[in-house]
Structure 1
Amino acid sequence: MNKLIYVFLLSVILTSCSEYQRALKSEDVALKLKAAENKYEAGKYNKAIRLFEQISPAYRGKPEGEKVTYMFAQSYYKTEQFYLAGYQFESLASMYPKSDKVEEASFLGAKSFYELSPVYTLDQVDTDKAITKMQNFINKYPDSKHAADANAIIKELREKLEKKAFEIARQYNTISDYKAAIKALDNFIADYPGTPFKEKALYYKFDSSYQLAINSVPSKMEERLNAAKTAYSALIKFNSSTEYKEKADEMLARIDKDLQQFQNK
């Protein structure tokens, strides 16, 4: 019995493979479409893609083209070929504006660029594109069932851009270029007033101000110590129970001690 089952399954596989190969080599577009649909429904997206690549031009602008383009786009998306998926989803939205798939295609086209968005340390061109495309989707379909996901994606991507900007500013502190750090962190706070990295930015500005002050020549020390004290106040005003409070208080004590020498003159 087991042997019969094995033979049956093998014959089914061989028949399926031979039908697929025939479809690939055939000039019959309808045959290719049927085979592509079968592979798509079976979740064999890479094989479906090979057939869709062959027949897509023939169906462009025709009634069947909408379905072909949608399945073609989904096949790319499910195989994580996001550049190509984005292109196909956008093609569906532009070529078939009255399709009931347009809203979904617009969302998935934008989401394809979200999937392409790299880690924050790399170039963020695709992140910017994803934000723009996702915002365009929200503007066009504010009541879409995908609106909540779209807004969450935009928030995530904006925070990624903010993290990159913050890390660039903080780097000046890391390399002990404290003047540049203060300026860069000031610019970051001004550019991203609602950023989740504001507390960190305020702390590193204080740290940079502190390091600059205690290592200053005597003629500039008093002014810089007072500037550091102002930076401390800004941090505590933003969050009185900041995670950096213990260390910041130790630095403030040093500032106050150093300022005494100027008060006694």
Structure 2
Amino acid sequence: MKKGILLICVLVLASCSEYQDVLQSKDAGEKYSYAEKLYNEASAENSNRKYRKAIRLFDQIMPQFRGKPQGQRVSYLFADSYYQVGDYLLADFEFNRFLQSYPDSEKAEEAAFKMAASNYHESPPYNLDQTETDKAILLLQQYLDTYPEGEYVEAANEMATELRVKLERKAYEIAKQYHKTLNYKAAIVSFDNFLASYPGSPFRENAYYYKFDSAYELAINSYFQLMQERLQEAKTYAVDYMKYYPEGEYPAVIEVSMDDINKRLQNF
């Protein structure tokens, strides 16, 4: 048992010593060979530690191999190493540089997908700024347009759909916040814009309901001279909801509000 542990320690130390020697070497070819070896081992073992070691070597030799036959492979492996360890900002940068330098590479499709996927992974929660999300959707769509029969089409479509739903949720939650804070006029406008912009959204039913409820609350809290018109408007929104969702979540709630609307209208 002790001999086994000792042997492992000796092998680890020897490996570390070898890596340090290569890292300090001035031989670019030696560094390339060792970096590729580390990359392959990392891929087989799913080892972030070895990917990061490979990254240090690739970073050192990238300028020396630019424009040379091995330059394409060095550039791809460098980018992919960043991708594999989850450093998506640098993976995006390096895959973009790879595609700019080697647009006709056999790895171009994979690089295009992984560049888009890097931005997908960088997309923040829906309640934060969605600039990265917009960029990711654009890159995923570019991949789908360029490689309609590509290897990663299914994954790219799933990612793009997820990101679009995230944007829809952000727009929906903004409109709902207006409703929550009793800013009913702004809520109606926001829900209108949402419904026009995202006709297939999973939040569509809720948007129709809260648009009606915003109009209802606005009407019953209005000055008398404005109430009739606003009650009538709220009724049209109720009709819109019931047309699309007669078996939905809110018909019973809307029915209660509609009874109140009709009673109020009898006073005019």
TM-score where L is the length of structure 1: 0.94
Aligned with residue 81 of structure 1, among 62, 74, 87: 87
**Superposed displacement of residue 85, structure 1:** 0.5
**Ranges of 4+ aligned residues in structure 1 off by more than 6 Å:** none
Distance 2:33 2:16 in 1: 14
**Where does 1:53-92 land on structure 2 (aligned, <5 Å)?**
53-92=59-98
Tell me the amino acid that sits aligned with residue 139 of structure 1. Answer: D
Structure 1 counterpart of 2:17 = 18
Distance 2:227 2:17 in 1: 83
**Where does 1:82-231 land on structure 2 (aligned, <5 Å)?**
82-231=88-237
**Superposed displacement of residue 238, structure 1:** 1.2
Tell me the amino acid that sits aligned with residue 58 of structure 2. Answer: F
**Superposed displacement of residue 3, structure 1:** 3.1
Structure 2 counterpart of 1:27 = 26
**Superposed displacement of residue 99, structure 1:** 1.9
Distance 1:250 1:230 in 2: 15
Tell me the amino acid that sits aligned with residue 29 of structure 1. Answer: A
User: Which runs of 5 or more structure 1 residues have no equivalent in the other structure?
Assistant: none
Cα deviation 1:51-100 (Å, max 9, x = unaligned): 11111111112111122112111110111110111121122222122321
Structure 2 counterpart of 1:243 = 249
Structure 1 counterpart of 2:259 = 253
* SS of residue paired to 1:63: coil
Distance 2:3 2:227 in 1: 91
TM-score where L is the length of structure 2: 0.93
User: Which runs of 5 or more structure 2 residues have no equivalent in the other structure?
Assistant: 43-49
**Superposed displacement of residue 8, structure 1:** 2.1
Distance 1:169 1:32 in 2: 56
User: Identical aligned pairs, as a percentage?
Assistant: 48
Cα deviation 1:105-163 (Å, max 9, x = unaligned): 11111111111111110111111111111111111111102112212211111111111
Structure 1 counterpart of 2:37 = 38
Distance 2:19 2:90 in 1: 23
Structure 2 counterpart of 1:9 = 8
Tell me the amino acid that sits aligned with residue 121 of structure 2. Answer: E
* SS of residue paired to 1:165: helix
**Superposed displacement of residue 34, structure 1:** 2.1
Distance 1:106 1:70 in 2: 11
Tell me the amino acid that sits aligned with residue 20 of structure 1. Answer: Y
